[in-house]
Chains A and B, each alone.
Chain A
Amino acid sequence: MNWIAWRSLGAAGLLALLASTFFMTTAASRTFYGIDHPVNLIFYYHVAVAWVGFAGLLLAALASGAYLVTRAPGYSWLAEACIAVSFAFITLTLATGSVWARFIWNSWWEWSDLRLVTALVVWFIYAAYLVFRHQAQDGAVHAKAAVFSLVAFVSVPITVASTRLWQSPFHGTSLGTDSVDIHGLAFALSLIGTGLVYPYLVATRWRTHRLADELEAIEAQA
């Protein structure tokens, strides 16, 4: 895929997000759980960004496994790119969730809510990955970072399953409840838009790795 195609993907994603914003502001209901407030529209971004961000972590784990097997640096770059973008997305998820909670629950953060706490744990784990991965730029760190990413991923399904193991006191299931009336088109567009912007950002970061590698190779020959 050439570079124009990747950029078109990103542009299409932004357009979809714009369209989603249009529908959510004009047509979507602002009443969730019986409370009418514009902050409820955050839902349309919050859920899409969370889903895509967490899916990206799965991709990163697969890429890390592929790196350990093949030792092709491209997989290591892909894993790092996915985690970097997912990390940004999870940050956004936490921030939007926190703002929403401020208006609806009247509290920025609830320690008793496991969905929140476990999402924060995932954020910390992948922050550690990024710090570690950027400590040094050699193959030894790449392999170790790949192992870390695989071990870290074990915590993701445990986090996701956490809401099934306990009753979550605040954060209910996002979809499929009567008390939330979701504008399907706006949500679908938001999800598509996020799903298109994500690979574009990953590709951009992957390209950074490739260019840096190319530069290093030329300098090594000189």
Chain B
Amino acid sequence: MTGPELVLVATFAAIWLLPIGLTIAWERRNRGLRASVERARAERARRVHPQ
């Protein structure tokens, strides 16, 4: 593949990779945060109502 062709392919790939990349990265971060929230909630419940 020549230089210009490579640029062209890379550009069209980037157009697709940007939204997909953002989706994967942000969804993953949200999952992590969600888990932290659950953990913190459970932790607090344990402290407020100890066995």
A and B touch in the complex (CB under 8 A): yes
A84: min CB distance to chain B, Å: 9
Q: In the complex, what distance in Å separates the CA atom of A14 from the CA atom of B22?
A: 13
Residue of A nearest to B27 (CB): A204
The count of chain A contact residues (Cβ–Cβ below 8 Å) is 33
Contact B40 A99 (CB under 8 A): no
- Nearest CB in chain A: distance from B33 CB, A: 4
Q: Are A205 and B26 in contact (CB under 8 A)?
A: yes
**A214/B23 in contact, CB under 8 A:** no
Once the chains bind, are A92 and B18 in contact (CB under 8 Å)? yes
Closest-CB distance, A46 to chain B (whole angstroms): 9
Kindly state the separation between the CA atoms of A41 and B34 in the bound complex, as whole angstroms. 40
B19 & A211 in contact (Cβ 8 Å cutoff): no
User: Residues of B contacting A41 with CB < 8 Å?
Assistant: 12
Flag whether A208 is at the interface (Cβ < 8 A).
yes
The binding surface of chain B is classed by DSSP as: helix
Q: Which residues on B sit within 8 Å (CB–CB) of A218?
A: 37, 40-41, 44
Known contacts A88-B18, A204-B30, A208-B30; is A215 also within 8 Å of B11 by CB?
no
Report yes or no: A222 in contact with B8, Cβ–Cβ below 8 A: no
Closest to A197 in B: B19
Q: Which A residues form the contact surface with B (CB < 8 A)?
A: 10, 13-14, 17, 38-39, 41-42, 45, 49, 85, 88, 92, 95-96, 99, 102-103, 197, 200-201, 204-205, 207-208, 211-212, 214-215, 218-219, 221-222
Residues of B within 8 A of A (CB): 4, 7-8, 11-12, 14-16, 18-20, 22-23, 26-27, 29-30, 33-34, 36-37, 40-41, 43-44, 47
Given contacts A201-B19, A205-B26, A218-B37, 13 further A-B contacts (CB under 8 A): A10-B23, A42-B15, A96-B11, A102-B7, A201-B22, A201-B26, A204-B30, A207-B30, A208-B30, A211-B37, A215-B37, A221-B44, A222-B40
